[in-house]
Structure 1
Amino acid sequence: MSRESKYLVLFGFYVGFWGMLQSLTVKLVPLDLAWMGLGTLAFSYGSFVHALTFPCTDAVAEIWGAKRARSMVYMGVVVYLFCTLMLFIGVQLPPAEGWENNEAYRVLFQGAPRIVAGSLVATMVAQLWDIYVFEWVKRKTGQRYLWLRNNASTFGSQLLDTSIFYVIAFYGVIPNEVLPKVILGSYLLKMLVAIVDTPMVYLIVRWITGSWTAKGDVESVC
Structure 2
Amino acid sequence: MSEFQLWERRERVFLVLAGIFLGAMTLLNVIGITRFIQLGPMALAVGVLPYPLTFLCTDLICELYGKARANFLVSVGLGLNFLILAVLYLGNAIPSVPPEAMPPWQIIQLSEPVPLPNGDIVENSIGLYQLIYATTSGAVFASMLAYIAAQYCDVQLFHFWKRVTKGKYLWVRNNFSTLMSQMVDSVMVITVTFGAAFLRDEITLKMMAVLVGSNYLFKATVALVDTGPFYLGVHYLRRYLHLGPNELAAPGARAQ
TM-score range, shorter chain: 0.7 to 0.9
1:48 aligns with 2:52: no
1:29 aligns with 2:36: yes
- Report matched runs for 1:186-197 at 5 Å: 186-197=215-226
Counterparts of 1:219 and 1:139, CA distance in 2: 13
Secondary structure in structure 2 of the residue aligned to 1:2: helix
Give 1:11's aligned amino acid.
Answer: A
Normalized per residue, which structure has more helix?
A: 1
| Aligned counterpart in structure 2 of residue 174 of structure 1, from 203, 222, 233 | 203
List per-residue Cα deviations over 1:103-148 (Å, max 9, x = no partner).
Answer: 1233124544432221111122111111111000111223321111
Q: Counterpart of 1:38?
A: none
1:99 aligns with 2:100: no
TM-score (norm: length of structure 1): 0.83
Counterparts of 1:16 and 1:32, CA distance in 2: 23
1:72 aligns with 2:83: no
Q: Counterpart of 1:134?
A: 158
Q: CA deviation at 1:100?
A: 2.4
Q: Which runs of 5+ in 1 are unaligned?
A: 36-40
Counterparts of 1:148 and 1:69, CA distance in 2: 18
1:18 aligns with 2:14: no
| Aligned counterpart in structure 1 of residue 142 of structure 2, from 118, 129, 132 | 118
Mapped contact 2:32–2:48 kept (Cα < 8 A): yes
Mapped contact 2:58–2:155 kept (Cα < 8 A): yes
Q: Select between 5-14 and 170-179 the one with higher mean Cα deviation.
A: 170-179
Q: Counterpart of 2:118?
A: none
Secondary structure in structure 1 of the residue aligned to 2:29: helix
1:151 aligns with 2:158: no
Q: Counterpart of 2:87?
A: 86
- The verdict on how the C-alpha distance between 1:32 and 1:62 changes in structure 2, with shifts beyond 3 A counting, is closer
Mapped contact 2:142–2:192 kept (Cα < 8 A): yes
Counterparts of 1:147 and 1:112, CA distance in 2: 35
TM-score (norm: length of structure 2): 0.73
Counterparts of 1:212 and 1:28, CA distance in 2: 45
Mapped contact 1:47–1:119 kept (Cα < 8 A): no
Q: CA deviation at 1:160?
A: 0.7
Give 1:88's aligned amino acid.
Answer: Y
Counterparts of 1:65 and 1:104, CA distance in 2: 43
* 4+ aligned runs moved over 6 Å, structure 1: none
1:205 aligns with 2:241: no
Matched residues, percent identical?
Answer: 27
Counterparts of 2:162 and 2:188, CA distance in 1: 26
Secondary structure in structure 1 of the residue aligned to 2:36: strand
Q: Which runs of 5+ in 2 are unaligned?
A: 1-7, 107-126
Counterparts of 1:21 and 1:122, CA distance in 2: 12
Mapped contact 1:58–1:131 kept (Cα < 8 A): yes
Q: Counterpart of 2:189?
A: 165
